[in-house]
Structure 1
């Protein structure tokens, strides 16, 4: 339960000391959340609860004040039931799709994109949730890097295509088209994810939203829609010695799952041409973020040796 009081401070003023023409609005809510997936494998495929299995969205190093800004997905998929009252009108909903994240730091990136969807057709029983994003973030020593990630929660299993365990590339238009592809080529679960999303620029022009900026405070700095058409596919990969590359193996794990209720966003300094990028995580950050994976691999090798020796 809660209440939010908002003020359109376009006319100027500080705090509540606002001119008479500043519009004041309130929003009250009473919502019950039923979590399904946090950020990581869920209890459907492990003995952990959602509260126990949370991972850092950008790797363990993101738990410390290293990157700018900071981003953590708290609930990737949930069902919400309750009411929201806005401008004296109450909206009631039951088992509506729900997503929550937290952002903190000095400002949003100078350039970014984001996608989220947990309303795929024919995936009510075996839950499916997509969260993807990329942008230019600040790292120590005054440097920046372009990064992207695609993550999927499907039937209790977490598929994480991130630059420290594989590759990720994107092609995002100034508005209306997102093409994202990612691979995980490290660890036991090797896979490839593809996201194709679009919206008609005339029918769905998006909504301008204020976001925190470095020099201008809250400014109209991003554009959002919740009506993007999304197609999501996911395949297993295996290493092919002949081509010396990873190739798709077996039938798709997710075969062109579709939704017309995808969340799509672009933000930062407007760009006039398609943004085509590849994740490029700098060293030593990449090596540090990979440490848990390296340690896990060493432990498994030791365990295998002990088992063979015991036999």
Structure 2
């Protein structure tokens, strides 16, 4: 039996307002025509409020944090990792990071994109900015770019099956953890800027092993 779900007034609030990125998370790859999928971040962080009633139980999203992204294209990458987390401690912030195997001419390469919004500042780590993968596996990954280092470690996953596109048809199954336990550490010049351990992080891993 499907749960009885009733949506209340659920909207974005003006405090904090939407925080879009300064430019596309894909960088110049946004203009490469043959990529199977292109990613876009609509808002790294914004306030939300509202209610959802599931089987008579009311869930209140007052003073919640929101994040919006979208994809366009015909297929998800063959192999990829993805994570997103919004948090209020140690200070309000949001992380989105992804590692993917992408086609290039007659071969493939593994690239990364990452955006971090923390204490009113946007940080960007990406292959097109010189970012390099130090390690990656289904249990997490780390990205090094100049003086910045991001470490992502999955502590506990609770994956669910999700349909995904293959050449425009939703005939692929992937595993997504909508809310799992992940640790994030972000360093600048080897100094820890913040460490976040969240039970509400999103995480996907598909095939990829480092």
Smaller-chain TM-score bracket: 0.7 to 0.9
What CA distance in whole angstroms lies between the structure 2 residues aligned with 1:117 and 1:193? 17
Pick one of 123, 148, 153 that aligns with 1:197: 153
Mapping of 1:276-291 within 5 angstroms?
276=210
Give the Cα–Cα distance (whole angstroms) in 1 for the partners of residues 58 and 89 of structure 2.
Answer: 28
Q: Assess if the C-alpha contact under 8 Å between 2:142 and 2:151 holds in 1.
A: yes
Distance 2:40 2:184 in 1: 24
CA-based RMSD: 3.0
Which one has the bigger strand percentage?
Answer: 2
The alpha-carbon distance between structure 1 residues 206 and 222, as it changes in their structure 2 partners (threshold 3 A), is: closer
Match of 1:134 among 99, 105, 122: 99
**2:135 matches 1:179:** no
Cα deviation for residue 31 of structure 1 reads 1.8
Q: Secondary structure at the match of 2:100?
A: strand
Tell me what 1:38 maps to.
Answer: 20
Structure 2 length-normalised TM:
0.81
Asked whether the 8 Å contact 1:170–1:178 carries over to 2, the reply is no
The aligned runs of 1:144-223 (5 Å cut-off) are 144-169=108-133, 171-174=135-138, 177-183=139-145, 185=146, 191-200=147-156, 204-214=157-167, 217-223=170-176
Cα-to-partner distance string for 1:83-102 (whole Å, 9 max, x where unaligned): 23556765331021211101
SS in structure 2 of the partner of residue 121 of structure 1: coil
Structure whose residues are more often helix by fraction: 1
CA pair 24-229 structure 1, distance change in 2 beyond 3 A: closer
CA-to-aligned-CA distance 1:281-308 (integer Å, 9 cap, x gap): xxxxxxxxxxxxxxxxxxxxxxxxxxxx
Whole-angstrom distance in 2 between the partners of 1:107 and 1:31:
31
Conserved? CA contact 2:3–2:54, under 8 Å: no
Gaps of 5+ in 1: 1-22, 41-54, 186-190, 237-247, 277-311
**Bigger relative CO (Cα 8 Å, ≥ 6 apart):** 2
Residues 215 and 81 of structure 1, relative CA distance in 2, 3 Å threshold: closer
Pick one of 261, 268, 272 that aligns with 2:200.
261
- TM-score after normalising by structure 1: 0.57
Q: Rg bigger for which structure?
A: 1
Within 5 Å, give how 1:23-172 maps onto structure 2. 28=7, 30-34=9-13, 35-40=17-22, 55-62=23-30, 65-85=33-53, 90-123=58-91, 127-139=92-104, 141=105, 143-169=107-133, 171-172=135-136
**SS of equivalent residue, structure 1 residue 135:** strand
Question: Size of the alignment, in residue pairs?
Answer: 207
CA contact (8 A) 1:77 1:99 kept: yes
Distance across 2 between alignment mates of 1:198 and 1:206: 12
Distance in 2, Cα, partners of 1:121 & 1:38:
21
